Every structure is written in C-alpha cells, then in structure tokens.
Amino acid sequence: MNKRLAVCLLLLAVNWQVNAAETMRVIWDKKPIKVTLAVGKEKLLSFPEKIKVWFPNDLRGKVKHTIADGVLYITATATFSETRFRVHELETDKIYLLDLSAVAKKAVRQRDIQVVTPEVVEKEAKESIEKQTKLSQKKKVDWYVRLTRHASQALYAPERLMPSDPAIQRMPVNKAPVSIIRGERVKATPIAAWSGGNFYVTAIKLQSQSNQVIDLDFNVIRGQWLAATLQHFQLYPRGDMRDTTTLYVISQHEYSGVNF
C-alpha cells in the first residue's frame, strides 16, 4: 500500500469514527462492534449485504427487530448489560460480532451505524485518490489552455480584445535564438513569456530558413515541456508571408532559453 493511499485510508477512518452526523460508519476489523441502544428508540445497523441474525436467549423479550435489504432495525424494550450476538451475511457467509447493550433513553445519544469492510474502505480511498488526481490534472490542463490563450491574444488580438487576467503576469524572457526545433531549417526566437498558476508560457517565433514547405509537428520540438501548442503546422518557403508562426510551450519553471 502506498503512502498516499495509507494517509487517505486513515483520514477516512478518522472521519467515519468521529463524524457528528446521525449515521456513524464503523470499519469491521474482526473485533466485536459495540452497540448501545436507548430503550424505546429504534437504531439502524447497515451491512454491506443481506443478513440474518442470532440473538442469545437472554435477550428474548428485551429487543424487537426487523431486517430489510442488509439493514437491521432494532429497538430495546428494556435495559440490559453488554451481550454478544452474531450477524450473518447471507451472500458471503461473513460473520460479524456485535456487543449489544441497552440503557435508559436519556443516557445515550442515539446514532445509527453503518458497518463497512476494509476492502470497501480501500476501494473508496482509491476512488477518492483517482478523483483528486483527475481534478488536479484538469486544473493543470485548464491552466495550460488559459496561459496559451492569453499569450496568443496578447500577441495577435486587436487592441480592443487584449486579455486582462490579474492571475497572469508578463515575465522577462531571453530573446536570443534557441535550438528548440530539430534540424537547421527553422530559426526559433523567444519573443514573450507569462506566468500564472505556478506555470510559465513562452511564445517562440518560428521562421523558415528553407526554400521548401516545412511540415511541423510535436516530434520536431526539443525539450521536456508540460504542453506545447503550434499556431500553424506548416511553414512556407522563406520570404513568403506565411514563413513564420508561433510555438507556445508550458513549463513548470521560468524559461531560461537554454534548458531543453
């Protein structure tokens, strides 16, 4: 079990044990579960599967119960000391042990109980981690798109459409040519950079140095970037009005112009 999953399991377990809601979740760890009833008040005990129960003879006449879809509805009709009884899960043959007692109605706070297995806890913890990971990834992608759109608009949009995002700041950039494109047919020059959300976007002008059409794709880009976006996927021969485009690269750290 990895450290992150273990921490998540612990937080879930603590949350279930101290939850102030009317239903308390209890993890079955093969130790008897203590259940205290308030006389005359019904308590619900939920289990993962359909169940049947065995009450010892000394509880006869002291409790009333009904079972429906894995839920035991139980009411104490008189006080009694702690007594152990069994709950049998029909589908799995799992046996749960409960230590049941009943006290005067005002002597205990009545809370329903949901019994869950460690397997369920681990599954939910994994699902929680996966959800958090997806949200984190979505947040990153959202920032990649936000920064790239901001850079593109700042460079090429009409003045009336200039972006205004207080979370994104213009950054200085080394404007010396760089070898970010494989081969010798494209001149690459950083022209601007911005930061936001702990990420950086650098706009790099790509200009053809060839007499032929150059097809661009992400395989020709050098470096380890979080994301990259090409304004166009072709460069026309040098001197053509379409011989220039812009590449936007997202990085975790400020772009230095030398790290690829």
Q: What is the pLDDT of residues 214-258, one digit of tens each?
A: 999 988 899 889 999 999 999 999 999 999 999 999 998 765 444
Its pTM stands at 0.57
Q: Are 151 and 248 in contact (CB under 8 A)?
A: yes
Say whether 126 sits in a helix, a strand or coil.
Answer: helix
What pLDDT was estimated at residue 255? 57
- Residue-level pLDDT at 2: 56
Q: Give the residue from 208, 225, 229, 204 showing the smallest Cα distance to 217.
A: 229
pLDDT at residue number 127: 86
| Residue numbers of the chain with a pLDDT score lower than 50 | 3, 5-21, 256-260
At residue 9, the pLDDT reads: 41
Contact residues for 57 (Cβ-Cβ < 8 A; gap 6+): none
Q: What is the pLDDT of residue 8?
A: 43
For residue 221, the 8-state DSSP code is B
Q: What is the pLDDT of residue 85?
A: 93
Neighbours of 53 (CB within 10 A): 16
In CATH, the architecture of 3-116 is: Sandwich (2.60)
Domain locations in the chain as residue ranges: 3-116, 147-251
Answer yes or no: are the C-beta atoms of 77 and 42 closer than 8 Å. no
